[in-house]
Chain A
Amino acid sequence: SAVISQKPSRDICQRGTSLTIQCQVDSQVTMMFWYRQQPGQSLTLIATANQGSEATYESGFVIDKFPISRPNLTFSTLTVSNMSPEDSSIYLCSVIDRVGQPQHFGDGTRLSIL
């Protein structure tokens, strides 16, 4: 299965700032996704990262707050904009190599906002 690297692994940020999280895969993958895991909660899908076009966002998530890029089949970024303490979460990138295959996750980015 694909090897997924997320950077940074953790960060502590100031309120009102923005942070960009990178997700790099060691092979071309069909689909890439971004999830959020709030403290003590399960995972919630933020958006599907579409190669070469705008991401598809789930209800409750908007592009202005969580801009996503996917310039090619191995790389995507998620930006958390104008951060507030409520954005303190783990943000995870996931991929599907090919249709019908399991979804695999990166180790996540642990984000704390002061």
Chain B
Amino acid sequence: KQEVTQIPAALSVPEGENLVLNCSFTDSAIYNLQWFRQDPGKGLTSLLLIQSSQREQTSGRLNASLDKSSGRSTLYIAASQPGDSATYLCAVTNAGGTSYGKLTFGQGTILTVHP
């Protein structure tokens, strides 16, 4: 059974810092990995999708890397801003059969960026 772990559970940083969020998964046979953010009282916003054949994806100040063989992904946020404050969720889709699209989520990292 796939298990996804995110470290740290919470992170508080001053504005302007570069930061890294970590995600690990137990079964390396994945189809893809997706990073989301969730604002309080809101649904999920997709940030980056990394296919299993890819090593990284970038969008603006966000960069996500994937090391499938070791079961790890990192989300790098450059020059953090108070608007980045949210819960960041990592989720994987297992490869094979009827698993496509079925996301297994980590518990999330609660990020607070203070001015």
- Which A positions have Cβ atoms within 8 angstroms of B? 1, 6, 31, 33, 35, 41-45, 48, 56, 58, 92, 94, 96, 99-108, 110
Contact = CB atoms under 8 A, between A and B. Distances in A.
B49 A42 contact: no
A43 B89 contact: yes
A42 B44 contact: no
B98 A103 contact: no
Interface string B82-112: 0000000101000000101111111110000
B49 A92 contact: no
Contacts of A41: 107
B43 A42 contact: no
Contacts of A94: 44, 103
Contacts of B28: none
A31 B101 contact: yes
Contacts of A48: 101-102
Contacts of A33: 101-103
A42 B89 contact: yes
Given A92-B43, A102-B34, A103-B34, A45 B49 contact: no
B43 A108 contact: yes
A48 B100 CA distance: 10
Contacts of A107: 42-43
Contact of B105 (A43, A96, A100, A106): A43
Nearest to A92: B43
Given A42-B105, A42-B106, A103 B43 contact: no
